[in-house]
Chains A and B, each alone.
Chain A
Amino acid sequence: MDSKGGGTEAQKFVWEGAIPLQIHLHDSEVTTLPNPPPALILAPRLGYLPLLVPKIKPFFSNSLPPGVDTVWFEYKGLPLKWYIPTGVLFDLLCAEAERPWNLTVHFRGYPGNILTPCEGVDSVKWSFINALKEAAYIINGNCKNIMNMSQSDQADLWHSVLNGNMEAYLRVSSKLKLGTIGDDYSLKLNSTSKSRQRTSDTDATAPIRTGRIPVRLYIRSINEDIDDLEDAPIVDSWDKISYINRPVEIWGEGKCFTLYNAVKALLPELFADKHLLTDNVSKAEMEDGQQSEEISSLRSPEEGGETSTEHAGSPLDTAEIKFLRIQGIEPKMEIPFGWVVNNLMNPEHYLHICVYIKVVEPITI
């Protein structure tokens, strides 16, 4: 958990993560023959689509009709929200990973009734800073440390994100005193004696903290029983995605707070007590070497051993989690949440989680 110097192995993977994109100019904006070929570009997971515009515009500028540029991206008819990190958009909208990811770019006709305005790099920068302020607020109860950043630190922070430079980012962000996550469990292991309370003071070393964690959850419902993710119905409207921007409060004395605990805190209805009955059955299945189909809310990692908890729920529910994705991976639910946050969070200190749920019954209102 050494955040000084190079960062952890996992953090390196996350910062180096990128999605290969194949970007096509929308037909209505092609004024030359033949059609310009698509632009091929590697988009950093932690970055944002509008930041790619300077690199892709040269591919298309000859073809564009006259007018002012108002750039927006679209995937299979869905205008893409530019303030969501590229990696999250990919994890959420491509049930089955599509490589390269085929996107359409528009330079005209901005859908202002669906997308908030984006005026280029500045908009993305301010959206990032506002998200960082919100995260600081959640963590510390105020965003003083962000407001008080020197101009040069702010510039360094933003540039480290723009350029995908993890070392530079870690150097500047450590000054923000947003801390790393610990809990009683890992504290006992590490035998440090840092206080458990939320810190807003300015001690020299990065504080270990419990308390509130910034999380953004994106829920995609798949109403049908599908075996192959490729057959998942495409998302043609943002109304089909539930977005929950809600902090997770870490709790628990002497027990490890896991990813499972965190998701349960955000979506309690998907984890009702039905599992009590299936506890023994699951254990037996596990001993047979089969994957458990159930999550036990009573079993902690110490007792349960290898519980693969990628599938949850019972037929009695109206909805169940099929799987979840963070930075393109499907982490096991019993991983300590602190580890997940410290290693897989985005530079604005938010952990973005894509959850795929299966709704068994039709939604009635």
Chain B
Amino acid sequence: MISISSWDGTLSAAEFYVAACAFSELWKKFNLALPQWSWIPSSKRPGIPFNHVEGYLSMENVILPSFEQEDYQGDDLMEKEEYSCSNVDEFIDDAILVQNYCHEVNHYDFHIVYSTSYRVPVLYFRAYRSDGQTLLSDKIEKDIPPNSAKLLTKSKWTFITQEDHPQLNRPWYTLHPCGTTDWMKLLLTNEDSVGQDEVASEKYLVSWFSVVGQVFGLKIPFEMLGNIGTL
């Protein structure tokens, strides 16, 4: 438990593990039309067996939802016709995430890795075609909501960058963690929690993902956020 009044928006490595377990449990419970999160234990130190609590969360082979009509600015509508099938509209539902059943389907792997420098979770992702070929930012731009795409190109060095994945040692895309503590603090201390003066670490990742997922058009059902108490 973290005391709200003095909380700086960060969490420890141990708290991250707790949050990760809680998050993946909740995700499973809600049975969204998306793959499950798994915990991948890992160690950076050679010759030393790893401790299960060191690792990261992984959700792989995700197909991003196509955008709902109202998220669109006029121009992009034409492009959308190209990428989505004509009968997709029938399946659009606010609470359910839609799969794009078309020919040109891009796959995404998401990893949530703890940063010891920033003391917050950091999202790493990669995109690839069905045949496994890695996609670059020009293709990724077309898969994500227009506002994110704008940020991708404008703040090239500060928002989404390519870095070496800290565990896998290959170039992955990442959302820069600077600023995370500021909005996490706002998010968790402004909740309907009158009388509560502590923040449960279990809540951290759900709240965090509710913001970060939006970059990719992945929306967490409202009920999931309110559900932590039942864990």
Q: A-side interface residues toward B, CB under 8 Å?
A: 81, 112-117, 126, 129-130, 133-134, 137-138, 141-143, 214, 219, 221, 238-239, 242-247, 267, 269, 318-319, 357, 359, 361, 363
Contact = CB atoms under 8 A, between A and B. Distances in A.
A52 to B, nearest CB: 21
Nearest to B116: A246
B163 A116 contact: yes
Interface stretch (B17-25, B41-49, B194-202, B213-221): B41-49
Interface in B1-58: 8, 44-48
A319 B169 contact: no
Contacts of A129: 157
Contacts of A117: 162, 171
Given A113-B170, A221-B46, A242-B44, A247 B157 contact: no
Which one of B134, B171, B176 has the highest number of Cβ atoms from chain A below 10 Å of its Cβ? B171
Contacts of B118: 134, 137
- Listed from nearest, the 3 A-B pairs whose CB atoms lie closest are A126-B157, A319-B47, A116-B171
B166 interface: yes
B178 A133 contact: yes
Nearest to A239: B169
Which one of A242, A357, A361 has the highest number of Cβ atoms from chain B below 10 Å of its Cβ? A242
Interface in B79-122: 116-118
A115 B171 contact: yes
Contacts of A363: 46-47
Interface string B128-167: 0000001000000000000000000000010001111010
Contacts of B170: 113-114
Nearest to A269: B48
A245 B47 contact: no
Nearest to B172: A116
Nearest to A123: B157
B163 A319 contact: no
Contacts of A214: 117
Contact of B157 (A81, A113, A130, A238): A130
B171 A361 contact: no
A357 B46 contact: yes
B223 to A, nearest CB: 34
A70 to B, nearest CB: 13
26 contacts: A112-B171, A116-B171, A117-B171, A126-B157, A130-B157, A130-B161, A130-B176, A134-B117, A138-B117, A142-B181, A221-B46, A242-B45, A242-B46, A243-B44, A244-B44, A244-B45, A245-B117, A247-B116, A247-B117, A318-B47, A319-B47, A319-B48, A357-B46, A357-B47, A363-B46, A363-B47
B45 A137 contact: no
Contacts of B178: 133, 137, 143
B46 to A, nearest CB: 5
Contacts of B181: 142
A113 B134 CA distance: 9
Contacts of A138: 117
A134 B117 CA distance: 7
A268 to B, nearest CB: 9
Nearest to A112: B171
Contacts of B45: 219, 242, 244, 267, 269
A361 B47 contact: yes
Contacts of A221: 46-47
A129 B178 CA distance: 12
A223 B47 CA distance: 10
A359 B171 contact: no
A134 B48 CA distance: 28
A245 B162 CA distance: 17
A116 B162 contact: yes
Contacts of A130: 157, 161, 176
Contact of B164 (A116, A126, A143): A116
B164 A318 contact: no
A359 to B, nearest CB: 4
Contacts of A142: 181
Contact of A113 (B44, B48, B117, B171): B171
Nearest to A81: B164
Which one of B8, B134, B169 has the highest number of Cβ atoms from chain A below 10 Å of its Cβ? B169
B46 A219 contact: yes
A157 to B, nearest CB: 16
Nearest to B176: A130
Contact of A245 (B48, B157, B166): B166
Contacts of B171: 112-117
Given A126-B157, A137-B178, A243-B44, A238 B116 contact: no
B177 to A, nearest CB: 9
A218 B92 CA distance: 49
B13 to A, nearest CB: 10
A133 B115 CA distance: 14
A112 B161 CA distance: 14
